[in-house]
């Protein structure tokens, strides 16, 4: 069974731009969670989607948003990029809910210049 | 909210020796404690997890112990091998409706010395 896939793997943007990242969960998994990983803050929860609805949300500003499609694929968007948004963005999928075991993708490395 | 502390931040052990990483958590309602291994350029990979109704769990060279009274849990790796070198993260989760999220520790960089 294929694992969680994320595209693109690397991205370079400039301040003020916006970016969209994509995540395809493991086949059959319906819950998708997003995390931001930085050297200073570690792994921080952004939000979780299930059945095309945001079910849980972390403490990030409204510039960070996401959505989920009927096939469980998910996208996250960051608008008005800031230098501090440079990070590894990780997607994790689980079977039914975030209380099930989460499996992570390889991440998208975003660099904001 | 939940707070997870992880120690040590770096750990070097001789190949064949054991490694122990410790985590404490703050929310007494937390009931699920996974451990992830992250290698360079990859996402975290689940290596073992434990739920609050169990005190210890073992999988080959890896074991996790949980002390709910003291709110701490530990990862034990025995007979370490070079491929065990990576960053290890502990995490905790409490299943409050609408707040089921993993809170991660800050990570331990484990280096196995051949």
By the 8 A CB rule, do B94 and B30 touch?
yes
pLDDT score recorded for residue B99? 65
Do A53 and A59 touch, CB atoms closer than 8 A? no
Question: What pLDDT is stored for residue A29 in this prediction?
Answer: 94
* Pairwise CB contact (< 8 Å): A102 & B46: yes
* pLDDT above 70 (res B31): yes
**DSSP at B83:** G
A-chain residues within 8 Å CB-CB of B32?
Answer: 99
Give yes or no for B43 touching A (CB within 8 A).
yes
Average pLDDT, chain B: 93
* Interchain pair A101, B89: CB under 8 A: no
Beta bridge partners of B6: B23
Residue B70 corresponds to which tokens in the numbers above? 């003291």
A25 touches chain B (CB under 8 A): no
Low-confidence ranges of chain A (pLDDT < 50): none
With contact defined as beta carbons under 8 Å apart, do A108 and A40 qualify?
A: no
Residues of B in contact with A7 (CB under 8 A): none
**What's residue B97's pLDDT?**
67
pLDDT number for residue A68:
97
Tell me the per-residue pLDDT of B48-94, one tens digit each, with 9 for 90 and over.
999 888 899 999 999 999 999 999 999 999 999 999 999 999 999 88
B51-88 as b/e: b if 16+ CB within 10 A? ebeeeeeeeeebbbbbeeeebbbbbbbeebeeebbbbb
Q: Do B98 and A55 touch (CB under 8 A)?
A: yes
| Count of CB pairs separated by less than 8 Å, A with B | 56
Distance from CA of A30 to the nearest CA of B (A): 15
Predicted confidence at residue B20, as pLDDT, reads 98
Residues of A with CB below 8 A from B102's CB?
33, 43, 45, 98, 102
Residue A97's pLDDT is 73
| Mutate which: B48, B101, B103, vs A, most A CBs within 10 A | B101
Q: Say yes or no: B105 contacts chain A, CB-CB below 8 A.
A: yes
**Separation CA A23–CA A43 (nearest Å):** 17
Indicate which of B7, B10, B36, B44 best probes the interface with A, i.e. most A CBs within 10 Å of its own CB: B44
């Amino acid at each position: 069974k294929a694992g969680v896939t994320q595209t693109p793997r690397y991205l370079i943007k400039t301040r003020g731009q916006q970016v969209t990242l994509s995540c395809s969960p493991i086949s059959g998994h319906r819950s998708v969670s997003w995390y931001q990983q930085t050297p200073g803050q570690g792994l921080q929860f952004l939000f979780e989607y299930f059945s095309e609805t945001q079910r849980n949300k972390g403490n990030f500003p409204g510039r960070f948003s996401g959505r989920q499609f009927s096939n469980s694929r998910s996208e996250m968007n960051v608008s008005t990029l800031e230098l501090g948004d440079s990070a590894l963005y990780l997607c994790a999928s689980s079977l039914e809910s975030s209380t099930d075991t989460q499996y992570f993708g390889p991440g998208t490395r975003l660099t904001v210049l | 909210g939940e707070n997870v502390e992880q120690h040590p931040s770096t750990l070097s052990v001789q190949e064949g020796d054991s490694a122990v990483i410790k985590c404490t958590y703050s929310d007494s309602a937390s009931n699920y404690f996974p451990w992830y291994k992250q290698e360079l350029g990859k996402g975290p990979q689940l290596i073992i997890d434990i739920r609050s109704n169990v005190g210890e769990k073992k999988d080959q060279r890896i074991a996790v112990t949980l002390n709910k009274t003291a709110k701490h849990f530990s990862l034990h790796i025995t007979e370490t091998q070079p491929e065990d070198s990576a960053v290890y993260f502990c995490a905790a989760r409490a299943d409050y409706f609408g707040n089921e999220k993993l809170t991660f520790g800050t990570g331990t960089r484990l280096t196995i010395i051949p």
